[in-house]
Amino acid sequence: MTHLLEVSGLSVRFGGVRALDGLDLHLDEGETLGLIGPNGSGKTTSFNTITGFVLPAGGTVRFAGEDITAQPPRHVARRGIARTFQRLRLLTELSVFDNLMVGQHLTLDHGIWANLLGRGRLRGAIARQTDEMRTLLRHFSPTLPDRLHEPVSALTMIDRRRVEVCRALARSPRLLLLDEPSAGMTPDETAELMRDLQNVKAARPSLAVILIEHDMAVIERVSARCVVLDYGRKIADGSYAEVTRDPAVRRAYLGEEADA
């Protein structure tokens, strides 16, 4: 059986540096994969390469049976892959609603009739989207739905992170790539975000997720399987328990924590 996402031999070079070195990765529908590794081990680069922001020097990316290697981001998005950015890239002067609609870009009707002339359809679409987005936001915060029309710049960092995640979820992607969604959150807030994510996943059982995360405890709770990167290479792939026992992983990444 083919996997939903199959990355094989993916290599990326920045000048002389091998940011990714023959990465193999696969993921099935409904699965949640934790992607971990020290800083600079190639986690974000692998996201950027899968989504077409960075061109690989070699290797392939297949999604739902089709080759999407080196396709531009907007084509990758069309296949049903959505992502968040480690350093949030919300359009802060626009409203929460507008930001979520950027996430919905591909579902919206950009035709001349709907937007400029008739506009009845636009009115209907906006009403529908407003309801849908309130429901989505409610998964993550009881107060966010009421702030739908406020500019993102008025939100706290934590709420912005939630909106960033919701923007990626808006168009019901098949694969969600989360790049450290809990960066800067307290342990409690992180736990809350992960619980919210699991709620969304419970409602969308086929959604596949790859989560980049620093906190091993978080990974242990949300993902059945982890992949560990070091210097652009995969050094372990397995359940949390297997991976944390792996000596290579302990050397590369868990050294201090293993002693503690």
Partner 1 sequence: MDPALFAQHLLNGVMLGVIYALVAVGFTLFFGVLDVIKFSHGDVVMLGAFTALATSIAASAAGLSSPVILAAMLLAAIVGMALVGMLMARYLVLPLRNAPTLNVLLVTLMAGTVIREGVRLFYPQGSNPKPFPRLLPTGAFEFGAFTLRHDSIVLLVLGVGAIVFVHLLIVRTRLGLAIRAVAQDPETAAAMGIPFRGTVLATFAIGSALAALAGVVNGLYYSEVSFNMGLLLGAIGFSAAVIGGLGNVYGAILGGFVFAALQTIGAVALPFASAYKDVFAFGVVILLMAWKPGGLLAERSAERV
Partner 2 sequence: MGAPDRATIFPALAAILAGAGATLALLLAETQWHVAVVALAGVAALLIGGRAGFGDAIHRSVASHHRVTSATSWLAGAVVVFLLREHNFELLMLCTVMLYVLAGLGLTVQFGFAGVVNFAAAAFMGVGAYTAAVLMTSTGLPHLVVVLAAGVVTALIGSVLLLPLLRTRGHYAALITIAFGILFRTFLEVNDTLGGPQGLKVPGLQIFGYAFNEAIEFDDETEWSFYTAYAGVFLVVLGLAYTLVRRVERSWMGLALDAVRLDETAASAFGLNGAAWKIAAFSFGNFLAGIAGALYAILTAFIAPASFTFGDSLLLLSIVILGGLGNPLGLLPAALVVVVLPEKLQVIQEYRFLLFAALVILILLLRPGGLMPRRAREYFPGRSS
Beta strand segments in 15-137, E: 17-27, 32-36, 58-63, 66-67, 81-83
Q: Between 89 and 119, whose beta carbon lies closer to partner 1?
A: 89
Give the alpha-carbon dihedral of 245, 206, 173, 59, to 10 degrees: 50
Choices 56-64, 124-132, 182-190, 218-226 (CB under 8 A): range interacting with partner 2: 124-132
Residues 37-96 that bind partner 2 (CB under 8 A): 51, 53, 72-74, 77-78, 82-83, 85, 89-91, 93-95
Element (H, E) at 212: strand 208-212
Closer of 181 and 252 to partner 2 (Cβ)? 181
Q: Does 53 bind partner 1 (CB under 8 A)?
A: yes
Q: Is 42 left (phi over 0), alpha (psi -120 to 50) or beta?
A: left
Residue 91 or 203 having the CB closest to partner 2: 91
Angle of the 120-138 helix axis to the 96-103 helix axis, nearest 10? 100
DSSP-based three-state secondary structure for 83: strand
Contact between 171 and partner 2 (CB under 8 A)? Answer: yes
Q: Which parts of 22-51 interact with partner 1 (CB under 8 A)?
A: 44, 48
Identify whether the C-beta of residue 83 lies closer than 8 Å to the C-beta of residue 170. no
Edge-first strand order for the sheet with 58-63 is 17-27, 5-14, 58-63, 66-67
N-to-C CA span, the chain: 41
By CB under 8 A, tell whether 81 contacts partner 1. Answer: no
Q: With contact defined as beta carbons under 8 Å apart, do 220 and 186 qualify?
A: no
Q: Find which of partner 1, partner 2, none residue 64 binds, CB within 5 to 8 Å per kind.
A: none
Interface residue with partner 1 among 63, 85, 97, 140 (CB under 8 A) is 85
CB 60 to partner 2: min, Å: 20
The answer to whether residue 180 forms part of the interface with partner 1 (CB under 8 A) is no
Q: Is 69 in the site for partner 1 (CB under 8 A)?
A: no
Nearer to partner 1, 53 or 231 (CB): 53
Interface contacts to partner 1, rule CB under 8 A: 44, 48, 53-54, 85
